[in-house]
Amino acid sequence: MIATKNSNDISLIGVPLQLGANRSGVDMGPTAIRSLNIQARLEALGFRVRDWGDIEVNRLQDRCDSDEKLKYLAEIARVNTKLAEVVAQEMGKGRLPLVIGGDHSIAIGTIKGVLQHVNKLGVIWFDAHSDVNTEFTTTSGNIHGMSLAVLLGHGHPSLTSIGGAHKKLDPRNVVIIGARSIDPGERLFLKEQGIRVFTMHDIDKYGMKTVMDEALERVSAGTDGFHLSLDLDGMDPREAPGVGTPVKGGISYRESHFAMEYLHEHGALVSAEIVEVNPMLDVNNKTAKCAVDLAGSLFGERIL
């Protein structure tokens, strides 16, 4: 049985990976999110939640070679290969995968796993960044800034081949929301690919409802459902301070909740991930609490 839209069965999968960000702390994100009772929160909404546990990560790999263009490539590829297998396995049981990270490089494994079952997948990418660098445009070598490019089929073969190189996203069904820090090489890539990017200027100008209406139209056009990739740095740092790459002027708390509530109402979610919660940089676990609150709204919590 394949996971379907509106499944009442959720598999919670932790990925304590920080190598894609090359910054300590984000590997503790899954523990921080679990500590705020995300499983009980979802079960209170009527879901049957199975906590799969964490994908094993080699945490002793604390440095990379100076001549390594893409930092920690081998371990990141290994972790994402395993993640893709687990996601595909859980979807095959009719369960909706909810992956908690961990840095945003884990989106590679999550979405590659989903693509084993959902050939035509839309993706909503909530993020301050566009994450479409490649080894030719990156200035940092950090793979969490390349994950969306990989999923579109552009990047190192060790990453694009995960789950099969032919399993990739159609850029016409990908939407980025909340962007406000885009590298020059990424701007060119986004234009060439024709990816719809809603910057903070667009949200300010048109409002979140208009943005979400167009976003949902694009990710639903000819697809069999959509995936949500929720990076907490998409929110304003005043709301979510515990992220590795904060950018001021982000999405507000209420705008974020409205977006999650709107996605739930649409009813076509097949998978999701929540990434970049870094407890070492957080204030009183505020960012992890935002993550759990937003998950609640995504899965049906309402004010009334």
Candidate list 117, 144, 154, 227, residue with the active-site label = 144
The domain tally of the chain equals 1
Across the range 279-299, mean pLDDT stands at: 97
* 62 belongs to the catalytic site: no
Candidate list 27, 90, 103, 131, residue with the active-site label = 131
* 144 belongs to the catalytic site: yes
Read off the pLDDT of residues 66-117 as tens digits, 9 standing for 90 and up: 557 899 999 999 999 999 999 999 999 999 999 999 999 999 999 999 999 9
* 213 belongs to the catalytic site: no
Read off the pLDDT of residues 197-233 as tens digits, 9 standing for 90 and up: 999 999 999 999 999 999 999 999 999 999 999 999 9
CATH label of the domain that carries residue 270: 3.40.800.10
* 276 belongs to the catalytic site: yes
Across the range 110-138, mean pLDDT stands at: 97
Q: Which residue has the tokens 């440095």?
A: 63
DSSP class per residue in 183-247: -HHHHHHHHHHT-EEEEHHHHHHH-HHHHHHHHHHHHHTT-S-EEEEEEGGGB-TTT----SS--
Q: What is the span of the domain harbouring residue 48?
A: 9-298
Q: Is residue 4 part of a domain?
A: no
Evaluate if residue 135 carries a pLDDT over 90. yes
Residue 137 pLDDT: 94
* 166 belongs to the catalytic site: no
pTM of the model: 0.96
Candidate list 231, 255, 261, 273, residue with the active-site label = 231
* 65 belongs to the catalytic site: no
Q: Is residue 126 part of a domain?
A: yes
Candidate list 127, 273, 293, 301, residue with the active-site label = 127
Evaluate if residue 5 carries a pLDDT over 70. no
Candidate list 27, 90, 104, 293, residue with the active-site label = 104
Q: Is residue 303 part of a domain?
A: no
